[in-house]
Amino acid sequence: MKAKLIGAVVVVFLAGWLAGTARANFELYGVEQKTVDTAHLLGVLHNQSQADVVTGGSVTDGIWAYDTSTVNISGGTVNQVYAYDSSTVDMSAYWVNHLDAFDTSTVDISGGSVGDVMTYDSSTVNISGGSVQEDVYVVNTSTATISGGSVDEVWTAHTGTVHITGGQVRIAGVNGGVVNVSGGSIGGLTAYGSVLVNVSGGSIGSMYGLKAYDSALVTFNAPVFHLGPGLSLDGERVLGTGILGGVWFDGTPWAVPISQNAAGATILAIPEPATLSLLAVGGLAMLRRRRRSHPV
């Protein structure tokens, strides 16, 4: 009798658990829309569907977004987000543990907190606020733009592209691809492999400074340069280690400690090409005016 009772209790418990699990999962197709304001285990989006995660909502096992679907997260908790195809993910106020972007998907982070972000294929990640507490990996031909917020570490590989125009990045470790720095604050920049780094603004902190290895090419674009002790110029190439400083085109002074300058790497200090072109055009125009007013 006791065994039958226990068996009945187990059957009732499993039935209730399975029913709860079924209710917890949601899958959207077509143009379906769903507001997630309660607890769920897993969400899957297809086609042009849309899910809005708001305060009170949670997705424990994560959200998978496919096709051209959209995920908007303004509150609640999502442990993982996977973006595929041409899907769009907008995040403004929440906690997510892990986020993967594939194919040509787009992820916008303007608030909240993310554990780490992985970008693959030709995906795009825009970070204008909030915080990434671990790493942002930019792989294949994907692109990451950091204009605000804070990121612990940024890593590039293959032909990934990173634009840093604002915000705070503790460490930028770049190995292949292109990195453009025109603003923001970087604690340290380490360039490996065949990466191309263009620096025209912002700051690189003194704790880690700049380290250039392998065949990395790092170019500083500024109208004025100052070479500290230990540095010298061979044409436009910076030799040695020390503090490279100057003034950006907006008049902001800057100084970058170069702690590693490997033999195969190249660090250049050159004026911005566009500025040189403008100066050349202006000089030619002035010369022509002078020749017209003073014929020979």
Which amino acid is it at 155?
W
123 or 294: which leads in pLDDT: 123
Q: What pLDDT score was predicted for residue 272?
A: 62
Q: What is the DSSP letter of 121?
A: T
* pLDDT the model gives residue 160: 95
**pLDDT tens digit sequence for 151-207:** 999 999 889 999 999 999 999 998 899 999 999 999 999 999 999 999 999 999 988
Q: What is the pLDDT of residues 238-293, one digit of tens each?
A: 999 999 999 999 999 999 999 999 999 999 999 865 444 333 333 343 334 444 44
- Classified as helix, coil or strand, 51 is strand
Residue 92 lies in a domain: yes
Q: What is the pTM of this model?
A: 0.83
Range of the domain at 214: 26-293
> Which position has the higher pLDDT, 15 or 77?
77
Q: What is the pLDDT of residues 75-134, one digit of tens each?
A: 999 999 999 999 999 999 989 999 999 999 999 999 999 999 999 999 999 999 999 999
pLDDT (0 to 100) of residue 273: 54
Q: Which residues pair with 52 in a beta bridge?
A: 35, 72
Return the structure tokens found at 167. Answer: 């915000």
Residue 59 CB partners (closer than 8 Å, separation 6+) = 36, 40, 41, 42, 43, 53, 76, 77, 78, 79
Per-residue confidence (pLDDT) for residue 15, from 0 to 100: 41
Is 18 inside a domain boundary? no
Q: What is the 3-state secondary structure (H, E, C) of 171-226?
A: EEEEECCEEEEEEEEEEEEEEECCCEEEEEEEEEEEEEEEEECCCCEEEEECCEEE
Residue at 72 is within a domain: yes
Confidence at residue 190, expressed as pLDDT on a 0 to 100 scale: 96
Q: Provide the domain count of the chain.
A: 1
Does the pLDDT at position 11 exceed 90? no
pLDDT class for 9, splitting at 50, 70, 90? Answer: very low
pLDDT band at residue 12 using 50, 70 and 90 as cut-offs: very low
- Is the pLDDT confidence value at 22 over 90? no
Task: Kindly tell me if the per-residue pLDDT of 29 is higher than 60.
Answer: yes
Q: Rounded to an integer, what distance in angstroms lies between the CA atom of residue 117 and that of residue 134?
A: 8
Joined tokens for residue 22: 């079924």
- Res 281: pLDDT: 38
**Is the pLDDT confidence value at 24 over 70?**
no
pLDDT the model gives residue 158: 87
